[in-house]
Structure 1
Amino acid sequence: MSVYKKVLIIGAGIGGLSAAIHLASQGHQVSLLERQPRVGGKLNHLEMDGFSFDTGPSLITMPYVLRDLFATAGRRLEDYLDLQSLDETCRYFYRDGAILHAWRDHEKLAREFAHFNKHDGESFWRFLKQARTIFEASADPFLYNSLGSPMDVLQTFIRFVLQGHATEEQSGLAERLNAVLTALAPTTLDQHVRSFFEDEHIRQLFDRYATYNGSSPYQVASVYSIIPYVELADGGWYPRGGIYALAQALEKVARELGVEIETNCEVRRILVEHGQARGVVLAGDRVLRSDLVVANSDVVTTYRELLSPAIGQARLTRKLEQLEPSSSGFVLLLGTKREYPELAHHNIFFSDDYPAEFQDLFERKVPQRQPTVYVCATTRTDPSQAPAGHENLFVLVNAPYLTAKSNWQQEALHYRDLVLDVLASYPQIDLSDIREQLVCERILTPEDFQRNYGANAGSIYGLSSNARMAPFTRPTNRALEIQGLYFVGGSTHPGGGVPLVMLSGKIVAGLIAEDYA
């Protein structure tokens, strides 16, 4: 029989909201404490001069994870969100003038690839099939359950090879073994992609998916080919009203389940008594006591700033600080008084020297000199996000995590001009007049992500996955040193990205049910 607990959750990001819904559905008394004026964490929202901007994630994948979360609460997703699928997941612009349309429909996408290279049109199907098998092999140890030891993971892989996975198209023993060997191989994502595709346009397209968790395709392991797979398998989705509608929907469900949510509430310290998390101390020395604490704050920041040095965690904190943060981002929110019909909902303007970008990001740790630029125009799907005849453009460039030499206050305006110059240089589309068409503008830098969300070194996705053993060195969801302290969000298992942080909430709720059954 379960023992119901009083649970305090620090941070109402998507991971915290997910944990709150799962825990409240189990019968626990849950309170969410959020430092910012509204819920959502990095998945947030800004309104300027009649324009609406999502300031964080701009794409929803793995919609079944979201449906499962609503089902856990006894709700239907459709009663809270109008989730739209995108026929064209992304439009890719290349320096040589080429445009590649990434269609949701696999037949159309294969034909698009074949237009660039006949061999690659055929290889797409082989890539998709193997990526599906790799996903089936790795989903249980790396996505859906609390991460065990390397031996536990190996046993899970062995069971998969011998027994397979319950799918309509069961793969053969040899295919399953090959998928496991690929998942464990030291091959990088870029090397894996090159083993399938010949055309550099298509290779660059697939390499880009490493940035979905703030990593480099030239360092991250080939097992992360599951990232393009989940987008290819289920497509890209957009909730009408903006991505922030997701945070609002989860907040509504949480409140309906009895979760108490307090915003503008800053946690200064986690109370630890006799090795047990027993509550929090807020700004002004207000104390809230609880049986358990779930931290949706960045794990590194939590150990460094929210746990007293007297607890004796200095060694662990130093160890966590040695783990490489993910990349950050440089963001321009641009409201324009004209439309740019050549843009799709999601657009990528690729540079012609992709390796140099990631050398800048993770080796030199400087803003990219020749950046790839992402542009999201949600008005393609949802005209309500800007005044009629206008455009709301979310422009993102990957940026290095903060170091001692970072100085965005000095560099931001110069880098803004560089990004706009890059966009104006593509021959396929005329974006040269954006400066003259601006109605409103906002710049967000890595320093904003650090200051507003407590993100370690301004990272967007917590920790990078560049290291070979990254899946095993990522902080676990249960603090082994402090009883009753748990972690959710992008800085813990299973990683960054909207569906994964939602899964972290489910994993933590399962651990608490296991620990206090």
Structure 2
Amino acid sequence: MQIAIIGAGPGGLSAGMILAYHGFNVTIYEKKNDVGGRNSYLTDNNAKYRFDIGPTFLVMPFILEDIFYQCNKSLYDYLELKLLDPYYKIDFGDGTELHLGHNLKRVIENIKEYNLNDVEGFKKYLYDNEQKFNKVFPFLRKDYQNSIINWDSLKLFFIGKTYMSLKKDLIRYFQDDRLITGFSLIHKYLGISSEKCPALYSILPYMEFSSGIYHVIGGLNQISKAMATVFKQLGGNLKLNSEVSNINIQNGKATGLTLKDGSIVDYDEIIMNADFTNGLSNLVSNSKRSKYTDNKLEKMDHSYSNFTLYLGLNKLYYNLSHHNFFNIDNYPNLKKTSVDSFIYVQNPSINDSTLAPCDHSTMYITLTVPNTKSDYDWKELSINIRNEIVKLLQKEAKLDNIEEHIEFERIITPDEWEKCYDVGYGACFNLSHSRNQIMSKRPLNNFEEFLNMWLVGGGTNPGSSLPFVFESGRVTAHSILKKYNIKVPELFIPPVSHGYFNL
């Protein structure tokens, strides 16, 4: 069987690995000259500094471990993972900080500084979400079907408390507003506010405590490189600099691809790993689509975007953690453009010497902002935002004279995410994770518009965030195996019972 995958991002690579291992003839088409998509990297002209373009957190590594294991490979033969502790520091701008990490007793001592009653709330949060994860996680690995009533989604609505917001759920455990904020920052990586994010996703900060947050030496971009290596070792065909211009549809069935050079290649199954909105609108004629027309795509709820600043510095700053969040309420140029009250700063060189020369460092700074459906002029705003970020780094992060240590800088605005990285509306986290766009209400892995067409990536199930994107590739690959009556490998069930309630 001939299978084509459009895009060598982590979702396409995970599907490609599994399908190639099971003997399918799989070709991945990637328009750029390297793999990864937003899980790739950028450098300065002299390759002195290296940055992850997109994801910087690795959580739930057991998903990635199992994908490699299913292909008779060990993840650790290809990648070096470093467990971080603390995971990240949150500076609330009022003189207080919250350090969340693997050492739970240290976390509890930190929580005591805010509210003694919240210690018991934290223990209950861990216990409840352990139970919740055990019930919810199997639903995140399903290939949802197109039906009027989806019983799995209905069960998940109650089990995962999807009817409740993440913020309201956390209020049940914590009294101090700062702790509620600290435990809800995961909403930034789902592209939705904590007031709108379903409480289902409270399992994600819980999983940070359960499975850890890791850094990959060389950057998270090394994950896609490792997956591409395995894919080729398994006989997969990876075509870089190969742009697809059209998915060919005949009588409601995907039959093949038209490449940019005009050549037509027939395939039995086609997997789209492009951004859902951008990919569908550019690769399938609007006249062929009935459910997801251009008009429908425009009306869908898209996630927030990012204003991202990459800095190459001729100095190492050890007074910052690897991951940091800073309150921006006192910085008007940031506050008026951001959709929340925190800016994210990654300082990976304190744990990874491969990203910059000796005694130098890289920094990755992200402000969560509206996508390009807004009327912001990012070209006009960029300089003021950039200068305000540097001011914040000097004052709040205490990075004295940082301006004079900057050797390289690069900014990516929402406009550039859309135009240069093929992200629909610059929505970095794809479709929003609002209640009406998750599980059976999200575009399905077995794409409902056309036979023989499949989706992977953040626009389908289980959603955005890197581990979910890996999982989307596995869900799709396993569904294709079932279609051809090939035995599906057993899924690894993560050990999550740690007896937190005994703390």
After TM superposition, the score normalised by the length of structure 2 is 0.90
1:403 to 366, 373, 377: 373
Match of 1:152? 151
Aligned position for 1:29: 25
CA distance in 1, matches of 2:178, 2:312: 30
| Of 284, 297, 308, the match for 1:307 | 284
SS at match of 1:384: coil
Higher alpha-carbon deviation: 275-284 or 66-75: 275-284
Match status 1:460 vs 2:428 = yes
**1:50-69 superposed matches below 5 A:** 50-69=48-67
Deviations 1:18-52 (A, max 9, x none): 11011112211000001111000111112225111
| Percent of paired sites with the same residue | 28
SS of the counterpart of 2:247?
strand
Aligned equivalent of 1:171 = none
Per mean C-alpha deviation after superposition, the further-off stretch among 258-267 and 366-375 is 366-375
Within 1, Cα distance between the matches of 2:264 and 2:117?
64
User: SS in structure 1 opposite 2:363?
Assistant: strand
Preserved contact between residue 431 and residue 459 of structure 2 (Cα < 8 Å): yes
**Who is 2:94 aligned against?**
96
| Equivalent residues in 2 for 1:111-510, closer than 5 Å | 111-141=109-139, 143-148=140-145, 150-153=149-152, 181=158, 183-184=160-161, 186-313=163-290, 316-352=293-329, 367-368=337-338, 371-403=341-373, 405-426=375-396, 429-467=397-435, 470-510=438-478
Secondary structure of 1:65's aligned partner: helix
Q: Distance in 1 between matches of 2:446 and 2:391?
A: 46
Alpha-carbon spacing, 1:314–1:146, altered in 2? closer, same or farther (3 Å): closer
Q: What one-letter code is carried by the residue in structure 2 that aligns with 1:434?
A: I
Rounded Cα–Cα distance in structure 2 between residues aligned with 1:155 and 1:45: 40
Letter in 1 for 2:208: E
Q: Deviations over 1:121-162 (max 9, x none)?
A: 221110011112222222122x111124554216756xxxxx
Determine the structure 1 residue equivalent to 2:42: 46
Q: Is the 8 A contact 1:465 1:471 kept in 2?
A: no
3-state DSSP of counterpart to 1:136: helix
Task: State the AA in 2 paired with 1:334.
Answer: L
User: Are the structure 2 counterparts of residues 476 and 327 from structure 1 closer, same or farther at C-alpha, using a change threshold of 3 Å?
Assistant: same
The whole-number CA distance in structure 2 between the counterparts of 1:486 and 1:61 is 26
1:370, 1:234 → 2: CA distance?
A: 27
Kept in 1, the 8 Å contact 2:442–2:459? The answer is yes
Aligned amino acid, residue 473 of structure 2? G
The letter for the 1-side match of 2:152 is V
Helix, strand or coil for the counterpart of 2:107? Answer: helix
- What are the superposed Cα offsets for residues 440-498 of structure 1, whole Å, 9 maximum, x if unpaired? 11111112221233211111111111345644421111122311000000011110011
Task: Give the structure 1 partner of residue 14 of structure 2.
Answer: 18
Amino acid at match of 2:482: E
Structure 1: stretches of 5+ with no match in the other structure: 158-179, 361-365
How has the CA–CA distance of structure 1 residues 86 and 201 changed in structure 2, closer, same or farther, with 3 Å as cutoff?
same
Aligned length: 481
Measured at CA, do residues 370 and 135 of structure 1 come closer, stay the same or move farther in structure 2, by a change above 3 Å? closer
SS at match of 1:344: coil
Offset of 1:185 from its aligned partner? Answer: 5.1
Contact 1:357–1:370 (CA under 8 A) maintained in structure 2: no
Q: Secondary structure at the match of 1:96?
A: coil
CA 1:206–1:182: 2 relative to 1, 3 Å: farther
Give the deviation of 1:312 after TM superposition: 4.3
Q: What is the one-letter code of the residue matched to 1:78?
A: Y
Which amino acid is the alignment partner of residue 384 of structure 1? T
Amino acid at match of 1:382: D
Task: Note if contact 1:270-1:280 (Cα within 8 Å) is conserved in structure 2.
Answer: yes
Gaps of 5+ in 2: 486-503
Offset at 1:509?
0.9
Show CA shifts across 1:157-208 (max 9, x none): 6xxxxxxxxxxxxxxxxxxxxxx74623532111111111112221110121
The 3-state SS of whatever aligns with 2:312 is strand
CA contact (8 A) 2:431 2:437 kept: no
Q: Deviations over 1:187-246 (max 9, x none)?
A: 211111111111222111012111121111011121111111111110101111211111
Partner of residue 168, structure 1: none
Deviation at 1:352, TM superposition (A): 4.6
Q: Contact 2:136 / 2:159 at 8 angstroms: preserved in 1?
A: no
Structure 1 position 99, deviation (Å): 2.0
Q: Calculate the TM-score normalised by the size of structure 1.
A: 0.88
**1:364-386 deviation digits (Å, cap 9, x = unpaired):** xx722875211111111112211
For 2:11 and 2:434, the matched residues in 1 are separated by 23
Which residue is equivalent to 2:501? none
Q: Give 1:436's aligned amino acid.
A: E
CA contact (8 A) 2:55 2:466 kept: yes
Q: What letter matches 1:139 in structure 2?
A: F
Mean Cα deviation higher: 95-104 or 70-79? 95-104
Correspondence for 1:169: none
SS in 1 for 2:265: strand
Task: Give the direction of change, closer, same or farther, for the CA distance of 1:340–1:130 in structure 2 (3 Å limit).
Answer: same
How many Å apart are 1:503 and its aligned residue?
0.5
Q: How many angstroms does 1:423 deviate by?
A: 2.8
Helix, strand or coil: the match of 1:271?
A: strand
**Larger helix proportion, structure 1 or 2?**
1
**Cα shift at 1:301:** 2.1
1:357, CA displacement in angstroms? 12
Contact map agreement 1:182 1:222 (CA 8 A) in 2: no
Q: Is the 8 A contact 1:462 1:492 kept in 2?
A: no
Structure 2 match to 1:79 = 77
Q: CA separation in 2, counterparts of 1:301 and 1:18?
A: 21
Matched residue SS, 2:160: helix
